Copies of this chain bind each other. A is one copy, B any other.
């Protein structure tokens, strides 16, 4: 083992400087809305947001009062029946969806199936020869699998075609053709943190005659989004990452106003019926957002998820974005400065316009290095191949924590403090 050169002591950035920035942070007080274990630096809020203050009390109320005492009557008296729309309204406020456009229900994958089915049905009426679904090769794989499942079920020439991220950023100069019915895009690449521009990309897709569904799993709650203004057709996303809904909390689906009453989906359970308690054998879809629903939702998970949405409803998303970029600039600068002697590559785009709310770096021993960091209570995660992922969540992560993280990385790399035999276990769930 060679001893690395000592790090320059003339670095422009110091820990004291980071502490100063934290002291001046206008979002500082939001940290009290989260309960994080003492001594942990949690950089995995892009995978599972931490516990919200009040979650335990909310669960107690639901179990003791609503379920325990209210019993079946709580569907009305505690408004369980209205939770999907109530939480949807809060999501809409966070992602610029407009009133009456969004519901919280089911999982992201299920909601993608509904949205893609509805979009393809509209295209089958308007442009029946369009039967290709484009999506990023690097989209979160579940989205690709769901689209493949849908295309296979539809048969009749429907198929999924994969495009590279660069093609999307360039506005589809070569892949968009008159075969393309639908484009499904992740707003932020889960692995690299690359951000795509919803407005210009949507315009390029519409100019090519296709519809677009945006997956906001890695951007909702992380940066300002103006869904309505972007002209997008539909969007889906989860509530358990940047929105702190709790493990596996239900997902959301948004549909542009002009499409809402053309929206028709095959998962047409009774929650989407115009008159669910008529118990009529024939299906009639509800007007508006209830038609995106299917069946009965887990009330406990849904109720606790509301707390995370309430926090994000109180915050100015422009401030969140500003601090997020400051944190990731700092992270990247420190990697450049202090890990320069190591085979570390910053995977996340350096341009602000192309960067989400995370920094991913690549190292040949990525898995073992991340394991060593986690041993020290600094929790990021690992994604194949060789990528260490650090989520930067401005409401509870500060500049000093970024400093301490890169310093810990430096110590581990300088002194080769990782176990090369570290056993790869099943990865953490994104």
Copies of this protein in the complex: 2
Contact A42 B71 (CB under 8 A): yes
Nearest chain B residue, comparing its CB with the CB of A35: B68
In this complex, the interface size class of chain A, counting residues with CB under 8 Å from chain B, is: 35 or more
Q: Which of A232-254 contact B (CB under 8 A)?
A: 238, 240, 246-251
Q: Which residues of B contact A278 (CB under 8 A)?
A: 384
Q: Is A268 located at the chain interface by the 8 A CB criterion?
A: yes
Nearest chain B residue, comparing its CB with the CB of A425: B76
**What is the 8 Å Cβ interface bit string for chain A, positions 141-164, against chain B (1 contact, 0 not)?**
110111011101110000000100
Contact B51 A56 (CB under 8 A): no
Contact B40 A71 (CB under 8 A): yes
Q: Within the complex, which residue of B145, B162, B379, B381 is in contact with A270, where a contact is CB–CB below 8 Å?
A: B145
Contact A267 B110 (CB under 8 A): yes
Q: Which of A31-45 contact B (CB under 8 A)?
A: 35, 37, 40, 42, 44
Given A76-B425, A110-B106, A267-B146, are A379 and B283 neighbors across the interface (CB < 8 Å)?
Answer: no
Q: Which residues of B contact A4 (CB under 8 A)?
A: none
Q: Which of A14-22, A179-187, A294-302 contacts B (4 or more CB under 8 A)?
A: A294-302
Contact A429 B81 (CB under 8 A): yes
CB distance from A205 to the nearest CB of B (A): 20
Nearest chain B residue, comparing its CB with the CB of A108: B295
Contact A299 B246 (CB under 8 A): yes
Which of A62, A71, A110 has the most CB atoms of chain B within a 10 A radius of its CB?
A71
Contact A148 B283 (CB under 8 A): yes
Contact B107 A66 (CB under 8 A): no
Which of A60, A68, A267, A300 has the most CB atoms of chain B within a 10 A radius of its CB?
A300
Contact B68 A50 (CB under 8 A): yes
Given A153-B154, A248-B80, A270-B142, are A298 and B300 neighbors across the interface (CB < 8 Å)?
Answer: yes
Q: Is A200 located at the chain interface by the 8 A CB criterion?
A: no
Q: Is A279 located at the chain interface by the 8 A CB criterion?
A: yes
Q: Which residues of B contact A56 (CB under 8 A)?
A: 59-60, 63-64
Nearest chain B residue, comparing its CB with the CB of A74: B247
Q: Is A206 located at the chain interface by the 8 A CB criterion?
A: no
Contact A294 B148 (CB under 8 A): no
Q: Is A314 located at the chain interface by the 8 A CB criterion?
A: no
Contact B145 A296 (CB under 8 A): no
Question: Could you write out 28 A-B pairs with CB less than 8 Å apart?
Answer: A35-B68, A40-B71, A42-B71, A51-B64, A55-B63, A56-B63, A59-B300, A62-B247, A63-B246, A71-B379, A72-B379, A76-B425, A110-B267, A141-B270, A141-B279, A144-B281, A145-B268, A145-B283, A148-B283, A152-B266, A153-B154, A246-B298, A248-B296, A248-B297, A248-B299, A248-B300, A249-B300, A300-B300
